């Protein structure tokens, strides 16, 4: 069976930077270390006045098509994953295709376009759809373009405001991919939850603390489900484990529970037994409460072991490097985590061809998905093509007052007339409203 997976990836970050410890925390009267140490965040990427989910998605897609030398005729499917859509009928992929048609000679009339919604896991679901379409032989030799794009903004004053972000990830899904191939095996943990939702409103209603617990619970189910179709997982099986990263502190919690699960009944649990004991088993306790106390105590000790710290530094920390500087990109977040890990591997000259990634996606509401990926021989060339460091360095660092203005500009209930903070160059920009209330776009040379 031919491999199917991610052939190429491009990332486009919002052009403004909100410094969380330096600008946001002082304005909120908070300790900067809540951000740097607690949440693990240094900055959020935010959209300038002329940016939105369409411009960011189209700019990422254009860069990808140019770098890979693609024309519209090469792409048979465009799926956009977003939880920031502004149109309940016309999918964002049509707007993005419209942008791309302004700069390419051909058009996308032949391409099946859609929009995927399940909070942040929708980006991974859109990849699934593309994978299945190719595997079913319906692609007529064409590749699929998947764009995960979001302006992850919370209402002013919401606790989630600390974890905002904006950006897009474009991915080309194809046979014989250059970057990673996807496993057929997948695991799911899915349940009707009311932790984070946007019932016909722009900014989410969030029960933040509960959302953290729901993330952990669904992730645990997805991992167990994955093991039921693949095989038991072991920390040494995977060179890196990219997680959905609403903020790095969330992944710190999830990774510890995942590691504890993976080492149960292995030589690692055995090797650590002298230092921290063996993992408590529920059957050895009279009630749930005493078991939960014991497992919490064990987990706390596990976190402090050299063995765990080394694994975390090698397999998790590299996947968080970009998230620390861009915040949460919702549907794009796990794909930023994968790119971040691979970028770290390239910069550190790690030989990871043929190695496995365990990819852990999550969307509120809620669903987790776990699958594995195999790093392909051409991964270095693909990752070397990313210019995300330059984009991050070029961002305009905004003051708190400017942040308030930017938030208003992107608030659908506010009327604003604000000059951009940066000058667009060789990119798509928002260009006002059309006669039917549609958003319009143009390419700026
Ligand atoms: N020094 C060091 N650490 C500090 C600190 C300081 N001065 N002050 C606080 N901290 C630590 C806290 O101890 C806490 O860490 P632990 O959870 O490990 O204890 C962390 O910093 C955050 O502090 P708080 O819990 O006090 O922060 P908060 O009350 O402002 O809320 C939040 C945090 C609930 C995550 C909030 O940001 C939020 O609602 N975010 C949006 C929802 C979200 O991202 N949920 C994640 C799971 S859902 C999901 O993944 C989908 C999605 O993308 C939204």
Task: State the DSSP string of 328-352.
Answer: --GGGHHHHHHHHHHHHHHHTT---
Tell whether ligand 1 has an atom less than 6 A from the beta carbon of residue 361: no
390-399: average pLDDT: 98
Q: Which residues are catalytic?
A: 83, 120, 244
- If you take atom 27 of ligand 1, which residue's CA is the nearest one? 159
Q: Which two tokens stand for residue 431?
A: 């260009």
pLDDT at 366 over 90: yes
**Residues in Cβ contact with 407 at an 8 Å cutoff, skipping those fewer than 6 apart:** 153, 156
Tell whether ligand 1 has an atom less than 6 A from the beta carbon of residue 152: no
- Buried-exposed string 131-166: b where 16+ CB fall within 10 A, e elsewhere: bebbeeeebeebbbbbbbbbbbbbeeebebbbbbbb
285-292: average pLDDT: 95
227-254: average pLDDT: 98
Tell whether ligand 1 has an atom less than 6 A from the beta carbon of residue 312: no
pLDDT at 130 over 90: yes
258-278: average pLDDT: 98
Encode pLDDT of 135-183 as tens digits: 999 999 999 999 999 999 999 999 999 999 999 999 999 999 999 999 9
Whole-number Å distance, alpha carbon 283 to ligand 1 midpoint, is: 33
CA–centroid distance for 360 within its chain: 10
Instruction: State how beta strands 4-13 and 43-46 pair.
Output: unpaired
pLDDT at 340 over 90: yes
User: Confidence band (pLDDT; 50, 70, 90) for 1?
Assistant: confident
Residue 338 has a pLDDT of 99
Contact 372, 364 (CB under 8 A): no
- If you take atom 42 of ligand 1, which residue's CA is the nearest one? 208
Domain that holds residue 372: 4-444
349, exposed or middle or buried, with CB in 10 Å at 0-12, 13-18, 19+?
exposed
- Distance, in Å, from the CA atom of 407 to the CA atom of 249, rounded to the nearest integer, reads 24
333-338: average pLDDT: 99
Whole-number Å distance, alpha carbon 250 to ligand 1 midpoint, is: 8
Tell whether ligand 1 has an atom less than 6 A from the beta carbon of residue 196: yes
Whole-number Å distance, alpha carbon 120 to ligand 1 midpoint, is: 18
Q: Helix (H) and strand (E) counts for the chain?
A: 15, 15
269-286: average pLDDT: 96
Tell whether ligand 1 has an atom less than 6 A from the beta carbon of residue 38: yes
- If you take atom 54 of ligand 1, which residue's CA is the nearest one? 246
Which is nearest to 125 in space by CA: 160, 171, 75?
171
Q: Where are the alpha helices (DSSP H) in 69-110?
A: 92-103
Q: What is the CATH number of the domain that holds 332?
A: 3.40.47.10
Widest Cα–Cα separation across the chain: 72
Residue 178 has a pLDDT of 98
Whole-number Å distance, alpha carbon 21 to ligand 1 midpoint, is: 14
256-264: average pLDDT: 98
Residue 109 has a CB neighbour count (10 Å cut-off) of: 8
Q: Is the pTM of this model over 0.85?
A: yes
User: Confidence band (pLDDT; 50, 70, 90) for 268?
Assistant: very high
Residue 2 has a pLDDT of 87
- If you take atom 46 of ligand 1, which residue's CA is the nearest one? 212
**Residues in Cβ contact with 366 at an 8 Å cutoff, skipping those fewer than 6 apart:** 119, 190, 191, 193, 195, 196, 214, 215, 218
CA angle 87–201–47, rounded 5-degree value: 70
Tell whether ligand 1 has an atom less than 6 A from the beta carbon of residue 278: no
Helix H or strand E segment including 254: helix 248-263
Which is nearest to 165 in space by CA: 297, 324, 4, 32?
324
Tell whether ligand 1 has an atom less than 6 A from the beta carbon of residue 302: no
54-79: average pLDDT: 98
- Strands (E) in 263-352, as ranges, are none
Whole-number Å distance, alpha carbon 190 to ligand 1 midpoint, is: 23
pLDDT at 423 over 90: yes
- The domain tally of the chain equals 1
């Amino acid at each position: 069976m031919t491999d199917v997976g991610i052939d190429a990836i491009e990332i486009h970050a919002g052009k403004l930077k909100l410094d969380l410890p330096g600008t946001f925390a002082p304005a909120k009267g908070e300790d900067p270390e809540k951000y740097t140490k607690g949440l693990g965040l240094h900055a959020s990427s935010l959209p300038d006045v002329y940016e939105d989910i369409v411009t960011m998605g189209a700019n990422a897609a254009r860069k990808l098509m140019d770098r890979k030398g693609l024309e519209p005729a090469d792409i048979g499917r465009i799926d956009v994953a977003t939880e920031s859509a502004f149109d309940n009928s016309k999918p964002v992929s049509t707007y993005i295709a419209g942008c791309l048609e302004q700069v390419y000679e051909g058009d996308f009339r032949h391409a099946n376009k859609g929009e995927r919604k399940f909070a942040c896991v929708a980006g991974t679901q859109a990849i699934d759809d593309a994978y299945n379409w190719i595997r079913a032989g319906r692609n007529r030799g064409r590749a699929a373009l998947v764009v995960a794009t979001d302006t992850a903004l919370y209402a002013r004053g919401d606790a989630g405001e600390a974890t905002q972000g904006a950006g897009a990830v474009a991915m080309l899904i194809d046979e014989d991919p250059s970057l990673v191939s996807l496993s057929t095996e997948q695991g799911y943990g899915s349940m009707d939850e009311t932790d984070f939702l946007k019932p016909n409103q722009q900014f989410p209603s969030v029960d933040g603390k509960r959302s953290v617990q729901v993330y952990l619970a669904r992730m645990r189910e997805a991992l167990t489900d994955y093991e039921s179709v693949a095989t038991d997982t072991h920390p040494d099986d995977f060179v890196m484990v990219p997680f959905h990263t609403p903020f790095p502190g969330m992944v710190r919690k999830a990774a510890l529970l995942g590691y504890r699960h993976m080492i149960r009944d292995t030589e690692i649990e055995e090797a650590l037994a002298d230092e921290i004991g063996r993992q408590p088993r529920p059957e050895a306790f009279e009630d749930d409460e005493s078991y939960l106390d014991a497992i919490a105590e064990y987990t706390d000790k596990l976190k402090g072991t050299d063995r765990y710290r080394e694994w975390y530094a090698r397999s998790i920390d590299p996947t968080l490097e970009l998230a620390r500087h861009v915040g949460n990109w919702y549907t794009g977040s796990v794909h930023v985590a994968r790119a971040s890990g691979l970028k770290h591997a390239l910069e550190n000259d790690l030989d990871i061809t043929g190695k496995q990634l365990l990819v852990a996606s999550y969307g509120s509401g809620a669903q987790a998905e776990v699958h594995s990926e195999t790093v392909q021989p051409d991964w270095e060339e693909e990752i070397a093509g990313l210019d995300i460091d330059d984009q991050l360095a070029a961002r305009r660092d905004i003051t708190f007052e400017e942040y308030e203005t930017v938030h208003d500009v992107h608030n659908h209930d506010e009327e604003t007339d604000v000059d951009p903070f940066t000058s667009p160059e060789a990119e798509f920009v928002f260009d006002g409203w059309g006669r039917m209330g549609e958003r319009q776009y143009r390419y700026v040379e």
